[in-house]
Amino acid sequence: MGVRTFQARCTGVCEGEGVAITGSFCGWNVWDSVQLEKDEDGFWCGELDTFNDDYEYKYIVTVNSEHDGRQLRGWEVLNGNRTKYFQPRDPEAVYFPCVVFRVKLMLLEDDRDEGGEMLITGACWQIGDWHAPARMTKVSDDGDLHSEWELVVHPITVGCFSYRYLYNHRLDRTTWWEQDPDRTRYGSDIYRDVLYDDHIFRSEFKTSFIWDRILMGPYPQKRSDVRELNNLGVKAVLSLQTDNELSIRGVNSEAINNYYLSDAIHSYRYQMKDFDAVELERYLLRAAGILRTLLNHHTDGNIYVHCMSGISRSAAVLALEKCNRDRVGYDQVFDEMRWRRPVVSPNHAVVRNLSGADLEVVDMETLIPENGRDEEHVFTNSFLAMARKRLRFAVFRR
């Protein structure tokens, strides 16, 4: 019987988490574990007073929940258990398995920003499950344009997961998503699993001319993106983003639409889910038909088509419209598109299957709301009444 003093140097403890000791003295129970305190030197310290001198123990990572109390986040990496017989002279070395996300931020000169922050989110709870991006910590700084950020989380065990980096720009209060497609990694419970991402994040807006008068690329995120479209002679934009994507990505639709308005660009939106073959097969002919209508109407300028990254859905719409207009095979169209924008990756099976079908072309009059800015999207032609939930658009005039 006696008091045992613990002192540990712990690696892999994330922000907002604590360290505790559990063992045979408390039935390996998390709720009855001994919570340690972090001292000014960074060591985790505490005491255990027990009647039983013969016990084993281990260090654990915990987090306190307002509703559920103390919760277990992870166990230390150690073969076997520690015993009370070993009274270390120096602090015990404790390692908790973790995953490290690290990213380099390189802004362009025009995007100089002080006080901005880097975030990350993806398809696992440790980084927000796409709904609550996790803030990263700045680990190095070389002025306003170059910095390195890091986030340490506990092992991700969901198998294959996707994620992306974001940047909160303090000056213009916008959130920038990296322009490349979603990253894909494989979570692991292997000890010392580290994900190192030496990615150069740039705020540039990468668009591509595909055919005459048709451009494709990612969704606009800020004023300079819309200005670039205007400089490229774009008179109409067709977005394929869904309401859910706009919400998850934090798109400020009102601000973007105001930018379109100031540059006399007409904006339309036709919702289509990504990675859904049934959805694509059902609505792709209508989307390609809307593109045909816009091309026939806006003869004084170019048309810009985008989804999230300008890779899959927008490529499918452009390919289908081209196959129908020129009566050529899909493989030929895809090869030409791939040459102009190497990252494109439409659903080959769906587009090839629909390439010989007629498009669902609509009259331009049916695409214009009665008052030009009708929030309810009331159409002048009842023919599209069944499509009201699919087609979202706004036409802005000076």
Chain segment 147-191, per-residue pLDDT in tens: 888 888 876 666 677 788 888 777 666 667 665 666 777 655 433
Please choose, from the candidates 233, 240, 165, the residue with its C-alpha nearest in 3D space to the C-alpha of residue 199.
Answer: 165
147 phi and psi, to 5 degrees?
-155, 165
Task: Indicate if the pLDDT at residue 55 is higher than 90.
Answer: no
Structure confidence at residue 385 as a pLDDT band (50, 70, 90): very low
pLDDT at 296: 93
Task: Indicate if the pLDDT at residue 391 is higher than 70.
Answer: no
Beta strand 146-153 with 160-169 is unpaired
pLDDT at 260: 92
* Alpha-carbon gap, residue 75 to 85, rounded angstroms: 21
H or E element at residue 302: strand 302-306
* Alpha-carbon gap, residue 288 to 117, rounded angstroms: 39
pLDDT at 318: 96
pLDDT tens for residues 14-25? 777 899 999 988
* Alpha-carbon gap, residue 350 to 316, rounded angstroms: 9
156 DSSP assignment? P
Structure confidence at residue 193 as a pLDDT band (50, 70, 90): very low
Residues with Cβ within 8 Å of 348's Cβ and at least 6 positions away in sequence, in order, are: 330, 334
Q: Where are the domains of the chain?
A: 2-95, 99-201, 208-394
Task: Indicate if the pLDDT at residue 394 is higher than 50.
Answer: no
* Alpha-carbon gap, residue 277 to 212, rounded angstroms: 28
pLDDT tens for residues 219-243? 898 888 999 999 999 999 999 988 8
78-82, 155-159, 314-318, range with the lowest pLDDT: 155-159
| Mean pLDDT estimate for the chain | 78
Structure confidence at residue 59 as a pLDDT band (50, 70, 90): very high
Q: Which residue has the tokens 């490349």?
A: 180
H or E element at residue 332: helix 330-340
CB 7 within 8 A of CB 43: yes
Task: Indicate if the pLDDT at residue 393 is higher than 70.
Answer: no
pLDDT at 377: 32
Classify each residue of 245-262 as buried b or exposed e, where b means 16 or more C-beta atoms within 10 Å of its C-beta. bbeebbbebebbbebbbe
User: In angstroms, what is the C-alpha Rg of the chain?
Assistant: 28
Q: Determine the average pLDDT of the residues in 49-59.
A: 80
pLDDT at 181: 61
Q: Which CATH superfamily is domain 208-394 in?
A: Protein tyrosine phosphatase superfamily (3.90.190.10)
Task: Tell which wins on pLDDT, 323 or 203.
Answer: 323
CATH class (in words) of the domain with range 99-201: mainly beta
Q: Which residue has the tokens 């609505």?
A: 283
Q: Report the share of the chain in percent with pLDDT over 90.
A: 28
127-131, 319-323, 375-379, range with the lowest pLDDT: 375-379
* Alpha-carbon gap, residue 294 to 367, rounded angstroms: 10
Please choose, from the candidates 190, 220, 197, the residue with its C-alpha nearest in 3D space to the C-alpha of residue 310.
Answer: 220
pLDDT at 37: 93
| Domain 2-95 identical in fold to domain 99-201 | yes
146-150, 302-306, 380-384, range with the lowest pLDDT: 380-384
pLDDT at 344: 82
pLDDT at 361: 82
53-62, 190-199, 201-210, 388-397, range with the lowest pLDDT: 388-397
Task: Indicate if the pLDDT at residue 85 is higher than 70.
Answer: no
* Alpha-carbon gap, residue 264 to 260, rounded angstroms: 6
**CATH dotted code for 2-95:** 2.60.40.10
Structure confidence at residue 45 as a pLDDT band (50, 70, 90): very high
CB 269 within 8 A of CB 245: no
State the number of CA atoms in the 13 A half-sphere of 154 facing the CB: 18
Q: Determine the average pLDDT of the residues in 239-265.
A: 84
End-to-end, the C-alpha distance of the chain in Å comes to 84
pLDDT at 148: 83
125-129, 170-174, 288-292, range with the lowest pLDDT: 170-174
Structure confidence at residue 195 as a pLDDT band (50, 70, 90): low
Torsion of CA 371, 375, 380, 384, to 10 degrees: 160
Q: What are the percentages of helix, strand and coil residues in the chain, rounded to 5?
A: 25, 30, 45
CB 18 within 8 A of CB 64: yes
Please choose, from the candidates 324, 325, 322, the residue with its C-alpha nearest in 3D space to the C-alpha of residue 335.
Answer: 322
* Alpha-carbon gap, residue 322 to 287, rounded angstroms: 13
